[in-house]
Structure 1
């Protein structure tokens, strides 16, 4: 949107405008907000030829969103599995998403640091790989772009206190617990008036629903932002923006419940009995025991493999600096620099699963944006280059991962970090595979040369050149095309090579060319606002391991004494084909988006095994807000997600009945084979834990007095439990209700979560764990917050 400045006649670009007469800070409508975080250049969802969902500043504030699972209801095709109790990023179109910060890709974070919303002002969810400007990351189902809070030139301070959690009725495993957090968010201009700053601090010292197992959820989070605008806001000045964040968290990794069966899901019936310590089965290398499969028990809601000895801690520090020079209305130069350091420590005593990792990421991107007439056509051009450096060091131990061994229905008794209820090294000493010393924290790990490629110390340089052109082919028809050339220079070594005496190291260089194209047809003004589009994209990326995204070393098939970086790690291709339509209706109060898509990519699993994943389906999204007091959202997705021509496996074998004694267990189908290692034959397999049909809706209404109410509801069709379809998660309904009062200086919100008191289940979202783990959602509970503004 442009406006003339009277004293010079220059044109300047405005970054905010009204939709249906609403202020930006009061609108949940995605049409109200243009962003350069969606596709790399400044455009709104209506102008973007890709499926995009926006969780606006108003929606974040109204719903008090503070976790990944809470915002997935507002993005079509987006789901939230349990992810070993560490849901750091959602699934989009059946695949894991990447995360961005103001248009720059963050470090790999699957099963990692839980994202903080202390410094977040809006969330943009884009389906499919990154644009030519961004480049493609390891995870290409889509990406979540977090837009940070912006300093304001009007002083304001907001205090927020969250309190919870009360469980009506209490009962075994469902008693209330203290759950609180506090936030101070303040902003003001500097003395000169050209700069402004913002500070937001959030602290948390919580017990959790799993407090009987020793689980706490503690956090300290400091976010800072600063901006400087040109004198007089002229078009020729220099705009500077900076933000920084330091986050420490000790968040529980609640693995959930072992031994999933249909009886457990349908009736809460659990097959009891601890597996005896019989040593290692010489045929499989796994523990030899099985479950007697005769005794059943009702499982409490807070049953979990967690013990007080377990921990999952993280320290994160990041900073971003953006400089924008605009010498004229049609030319702009932008420099973006981003740095991030992450250190994470995780340990689970029930299976001796240990992961210590450090990540350092530095990226700088320079771009030139220009509007010009060329050969009689209007062009909007973006061209530039990126230099990205990634350093990853990780130590991993997962060779003792047998979650089925422990009986979660047995009384736990008193326990401590020194005497946890579940300890593999203590209770199954005859089956324990001892790692080697030499890693951090005095823990034992396994080396790359011992079959754990996630234990790695690697560095990756990634320079790239990109160009994107948005050209008007006619008055209504446009073409958006982009191309990107990436170069990669990688090196990796086994950090435990000095201990094992097997010094694995390797280097590798590669280039990759990616491109995308989109045709757009814009509706005539006489018909309305909207467009139809067709998009095709081919994007290459570097694979990385699941314990930090580093470069893996695998055994050389031609020389078993060497570890090499496989060239195939630099050639995984993601393809996207998408047809869609977007409309602004009812004087822009209603946004409607439709998409028909097919995505295919190479996905990496634990151990560095690659497989082909294909997703196809359709999506619908509606957002309606006729005024500041009422809003409603609806989105739906229908999709089929499969692995193609792939050999896949579950931990424990091809059947969940293997771990039960012969003739016992669910339906008396136990076969007594015990824990085995085997794979399904090569074929096409429907992805486990994915609902083909998902519906989400929400609505909120506020009276003139300031009081109001709202709801968020989701319905999911059945989910395949394992590839053999030996169990499934049936269709489920999730419903939260909230009551509120909003005044000019203070507001209060009361949330009633899982108001239907349903015993819903969440799949882990990882095929390997389909026989091992499942997560039961929390019971009905009440939480709330109070905000004061001055």
Structure 2
């Protein structure tokens, strides 16, 4: 896998692209490619570029054809270009405020994808699913101008990934035919009160974004470069967050207004990233959450428990200490680096007013390296190439109009990854203890040094580091390829003047091959091939009341979507021990039958002359999930969501959303590192409330049941708003309230109801913009759950304290 990715990637980059005609907002008329129509829902007098209202932007991020929110029979939120620019959104956490039912779990300090309706979301780019990115690369916002957050799995045209809680569709920046250059300088973070924040100013970035037409006036280009250098709040432990990011885009429009014109759109990106994976605070307890009280004492090095194979011993749990706000399980030698190269190309041909052909090609190569002294290592390479061809046509059948999309997709995934988590326990280290003399100013949490008697020796792999093979139970050490051809069709037929039916079907084929890349080193050569297929479908009824068709719509949707199980170190195919032959590894056929089911009812309204958007949804969402170490768990989520966006003019806007949901295991169990209780990790009669049972670290599971999803709040309110004076000065805020959330499956600790408040003040003029953010303005000591049940007993994350950040923009 050393030469092939570069050859294939070079071809992909040569043909790189973005979504077709995204600026037109017109899905109904294919005839005149030079004509740009404003969306019918645009608020009079409000420029499209200044609107945060989803009614002002049609999107093709759900069903493949451009639709306004009222024409879209699914729950989805749009973060527009204006909202991204005004709020300075640059990360997953920051746009969660604008979509109901979504949250950003801590994810081992690597928040790369949100959790939607209690489950992790997939990531798309201009309607094409990119590489598996859970715990992977921080998404780049350097080349992004809008975001669609969709609740539930992808439609028949886009297909579904393994994470089917929902998906995020990033829409890339479009080249403009009017020259413009914007310089942006971000500064911060400054934490008042000295200590950890006294020298934290170097936490910023700089961006140059420029666009212009070519000499012939038919093409335009755009270049955006962003660099970042950080000494963050956690600099005491040596954490850094640096990147170099180059985004390129090009578009070419057909000349004249005759049919048959060809539109070409392309983009490419190269990203280098050295970003922190901050592991938070180990030993979570209710005392820690409520009062910052941490149970001290290091675990003795007693060797490995012969019954469990895990580290032996328990925490004495006698003494306690107050934990620092910047305490984290991070050592100065830890790193998490990545290089990403991506290209996308979309060609759109319109041979007639009622037909359109689109060909989309995406190529992406990622090389990731991660190492922690406590000890975790992950080296992964991901190559993804996808080509999708679509035929769009409109016709009448038996007197009723149809909008049909049909086509095929060929997707290729190549993955090679090595992992070492056999010595990863977290709980043995005392974060309240001072650094050892040999460590200097920052503590090092080094398992080989501190626990030599409790150490599993691995095999040499990339970079000379130790890893463990598949045959030893390391599911993420794998080299695999997956060919995924698919055929799809979707028809949207107007049954009556008010009632429409949208149906879609997708037939996926899967041809998988996997092997153990450490098979030669271990002497156990596991490898296997398998071919499978799956049929997914979705159907929606949409009702637009006569006389109110431009102001209200109601819908009912049902969907069944299948996806392939991939491991968490890059999405590669997993091998497991053959139950009939322990010397042989096989691909589990069940890994191709992960089913997600969605039933949803909703309504959407355009009110107050389209200045107010209202969306509501009721849903029942279910899926099955494969767990680390074997076994399957079923998830179910039910709830209601409401979303409001109000913008009467360019100077005032407000958003509000609320999600009421119940997400839990469905008569299933799940693995929690350490066993069924967090009190296993403490000496008998010691620890929190004297409830330690002295069992030590085990792999026991709870009996099957309907356990609430840990970290998931049943009720979440989000709101934001801003107001600008005529002189350009203004202010705004964003706030979120979350109800309590269980910390583990048996709720032995919980994260209480929490309030988050951010305030910002700004000046916006024709050329200059200045913004100051006051984050966590109430300086509350809030907490974040890691997000996965496996770490329930191991780590929890402190949210950052009161701090200041800002940016300055200059337009030319």
How would you bin the TM-score normalised by the shorter chain? over 0.9
Aligned partners of 1:669, 1:121: CA distance in 2, in Å?
52
Q: Does 1:565 align with 2:587?
A: yes
Structure-2 change in CA distance of 1:332 and 1:216 (3 Å): same
Question: Contact conserved, 2:373 with 2:444, CA < 8 A, in 1?
Answer: no
Q: What residue in structure 1 maps to residue 10 of structure 2?
A: none
**TM superposition shift of 1:236:** 2.8
Name which of 365, 386, 391 aligns with 2:414: 391
Q: Does 1:658 align with 2:680?
A: yes
Question: Contact conserved, 2:124 with 2:170, CA < 8 A, in 1?
Answer: yes
Structure 2 unaligned spans of 5+:
1-24
Aligned partners of 2:459, 2:429: CA distance in 1, in Å?
25
Greater mean deviation of Cα atoms: 285-294 or 242-251:
285-294
Name which of 273, 285, 288 aligns with 1:264: 288
Q: Does 1:575 align with 2:600?
A: no
Aligned partners of 1:24, 1:632: CA distance in 2, in Å?
17
Greater mean deviation of Cα atoms: 321-330 or 455-464:
321-330
Q: What residue in structure 2 maps to residue 164 of structure 1?
A: 188
Q: What residue in structure 1 maps to residue 786 of structure 2?
A: 764
1:142-198 Cα distance to aligned partner (Å, 9 max, x none): 000000000000000000000001112224677644211000000000011100000
Q: What residue in structure 2 maps to residue 44 of structure 1?
A: 68
Q: How does 1:583-594 map to 2 (within 5 A)?
A: 583-594=605-616
Q: Does 1:321 align with 2:345?
A: yes
SS in structure 1 at match of 2:480: strand
Question: Contact conserved, 1:163 with 1:181, CA < 8 A, in 2?
Answer: yes
Aligned partners of 2:48, 2:322: CA distance in 1, in Å?
50
1:207-247 Cα distance to aligned partner (Å, 9 max, x none): 11110000010000000000000113544310000000000
Question: Contact conserved, 1:173 with 1:302, CA < 8 A, in 2?
Answer: no
Structure-2 change in CA distance of 1:445 and 1:747 (3 Å): same
Q: What residue in structure 2 maps to residue 285 of structure 1?
A: 309
Q: Does 1:337 align with 2:361?
A: yes
Q: How does 1:285-684 map to 2 (within 5 A)?
A: 285-350=309-374, 352-412=375-435, 421-437=444-460, 439-526=461-548, 529-684=551-706
Question: Contact conserved, 1:172 with 1:300, CA < 8 A, in 2?
Answer: no
SS in structure 1 at match of 2:93: helix
Q: Does 1:787 align with 2:776?
A: no
**TM superposition shift of 1:551:** 0.4
Q: How does 1:706-725 map to 2 (within 5 A)?
A: 706-725=728-747
Greater mean deviation of Cα atoms: 440-449 or 34-43:
34-43
Q: What is the TM-score normalised by the length of structure 1? A: 0.97
Question: Contact conserved, 1:308 with 1:417, CA < 8 A, in 2?
Answer: no
SS in structure 1 at match of 2:380: strand
Aligned partners of 2:163, 2:196: CA distance in 1, in Å?
40
Q: What is the TM-score normalised by the length of structure 2? A: 0.95
**TM superposition shift of 1:128:** 0.4
Q: What residue in structure 2 maps to residue 188 of structure 1?
A: 212
Name which of 61, 80, 84 aligns with 1:60: 84
Q: What residue in structure 1 maps to residue 268 of structure 2?
A: 244
Name which of 179, 182, 192 aligns with 1:155: 179
Greater mean deviation of Cα atoms: 658-667 or 454-463:
658-667
Aligned partners of 2:697, 2:199: CA distance in 1, in Å?
36
**TM superposition shift of 1:454:** 1.1
Aligned partners of 1:597, 1:618: CA distance in 2, in Å?
7
Aligned partners of 1:43, 1:415: CA distance in 2, in Å?
62
Question: Contact conserved, 2:475 with 2:574, CA < 8 A, in 1?
Answer: yes
Question: Contact conserved, 1:258 with 1:774, CA < 8 A, in 2?
Answer: yes
Structure 1 unaligned spans of 5+:
none
Q: How does 1:62-211 map to 2 (within 5 A)?
A: 62-171=86-195, 176-211=200-235
Aligned partners of 1:564, 1:9: CA distance in 2, in Å?
54
**TM superposition shift of 1:16:** 4.8
Q: How many residue pairs align between the two structures?
A: 786
Question: Contact conserved, 2:27 with 2:67, CA < 8 A, in 1?
Answer: no
Question: Contact conserved, 1:307 with 1:417, CA < 8 A, in 2?
Answer: no
